[in-house]
């Protein structure tokens, strides 16, 4: 398994508020997928998409991304074919708000991971909404781990023993939930930091999560993680 990372340099055609920037990135990614029948069907399918993306950088302190400025966003995927497709197609893609200029692709090296941490909010949903209002913290942790294991099993077409420690500690970086736009609604999530365990499967899954994202709605911009090696 390899995590492919695509840096997309972009020119803004209009001002975009920070609350809407990932929604605009999502639109241009969806638009690129719709240009190919295979990837359009993939986009419409009900399955793990195995890619994730972050927001625009550099960050604007006044929360307004400016028309006429150049910014960069990043897409990651563990699917080599999909990553190569993004790298090729997004270099020429544009919408009413974003014009992509160049793309650059690389593979994130496999090294011992000490920590992964949210660059975009992690979403773990209960059937009735935001988890804090409906389930206990132990249930949140269980759902987070189960989601990661399901992704790993699907990618590798195996069923691993689930009795292992994925991380030694978890820290929440927010007091109030963050909102992620999705189909004209707001999903609530959290910024978390996970200190990764030193067992082999925890390290393997954590590397995978850099490409798939943590939690749910990764193809909508949630669960994109930073990382720190030892």
Cis peptide before 58 (omega within 30 of 0): yes
Q: Which of 108, 139, 172 is the last residue of a domain?
A: 108
* Residues 149 and 191 both lie in one domain: yes
**How many angstroms separate the CA atoms of 152 and 155, rounded?**
5
> In terms of domains, do 84 and 178 share one?
no
pLDDT higher than 90, residue 133: no
Residue 7 and residue 52 share a domain: yes
Number of domains in the chain: 2
Looking at the structure, do residues 103 and 137 belong to the same domain, yes or no? Answer: no
Q: Which residues contact 79 (CB under 8 A, 6 or more apart)?
A: 4, 50, 51
Same domain, 131 and 167: yes
Give the model confidence (pLDDT) of 146-181 as tens digits.
999 999 999 999 999 999 999 999 999 998 888 877
Look at residue 126 in the predicted model and tell me its pLDDT.
76
pTM listed for this prediction: 0.93
Same domain membership, residue 98 and residue 162:
no
Residue 51 sits in a domain whose CATH number is: 3.30.70.1890
Evaluate whether 180 touches 121 at the Cβ level (below 8 Å).
yes
CB 112: neighbour CB atoms within 10 A? 11
Per residue in 210-220, pLDDT (tens digit) is 999 999 999 98
Q: Residues 117, 225: one domain?
A: yes
Give the confidence band of 78 by pLDDT, cuts at 50, 70, 90.
Answer: very high
Range of the domain at 153: 113-229
- Quickly tell me which residue has 């909508």 as its tokens: 220
């Amino acid at each position: 398994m390899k995590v492919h990372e695509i840096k997309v340099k972009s020119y803004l055609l209009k001002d975009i508020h920070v609350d809407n920037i990932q929604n605009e990135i999502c639109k241009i990614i969806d638009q690129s997928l719709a240009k190919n029948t295979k990837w359009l069907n993939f986009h419409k399918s009900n399955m793990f998409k195995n890619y994730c993306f972050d927001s625009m950088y550099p960050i604007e302190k006044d929360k307004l991304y400016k028309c006429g400025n150049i910014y960069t966003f990043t897409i990651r995927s563990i699917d080599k074919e999909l990553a190569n497709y993004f790298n090729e197609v997004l270099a020429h893609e544009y919408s009413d708000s974003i014009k992509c200029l160049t793309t650059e692709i690389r593979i994130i090296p496999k090294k011992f991971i000490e920590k992964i941490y949210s660059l975009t909010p992690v979403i773990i949903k209960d059937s009735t909404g935001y988890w804090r209002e409906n389930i206990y913290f132990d249930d949140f942790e269980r759902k987070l781990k189960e989601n990661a294991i399901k992704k790993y099993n699907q990618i590798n077409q195996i069923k691993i023993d689930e009795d292992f420690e994925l991380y030694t500690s978890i820290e929440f970086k927010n007091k109030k939930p963050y909102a992620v736009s999705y189909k004209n609604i707001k999903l609530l999530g959290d910024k978390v930091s996970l200190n990764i365990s030193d067992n082999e499967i925890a390290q393997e899954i954590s590397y995978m999560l850099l490409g798939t994202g943590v939690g749910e709605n990764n193809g909508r911009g949630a669960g994109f993680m930073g990382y720190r090696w030892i």
